[in-house]
Amino acid sequence: MTIQAETLAQLTKALQERGMNLVTDVAFTRAPYRKNHRWICIVE
């Protein structure tokens, strides 16, 4: 699943809405990175 947000705070909120409240809850396929002024991460 790919999640995009304009800020890290929004990215964190989007992950929390999907039940990923702790770093240990998140299984990153690709760690967060910036592209075209947006934060993107890919999780399992």
Structural contact between residues 32 and 8, judged by C-beta atoms closer than 8 angstroms: yes
Closest-CA residue to 23 (of 1, 36, 5, 41): 41
What integer pLDDT is reported at residue 31 of this predicted model? 87
> Which residue range is the domain that position 19 belongs to?
2-43
Who contacts 42 (Cβ-Cβ below 8 Å, separation ≥6)? 1, 2, 3, 28, 29, 30
Q: Whole-angstrom distance between the N-terminal and C-terminal Cα of the chain? A: 6
Amino acid at 19: G
pLDDT tens digit sequence for 10-32: 999 999 999 999 888 888 898 89
Instruction: Work out how many domains the chain is built from and give that number.
Output: 1
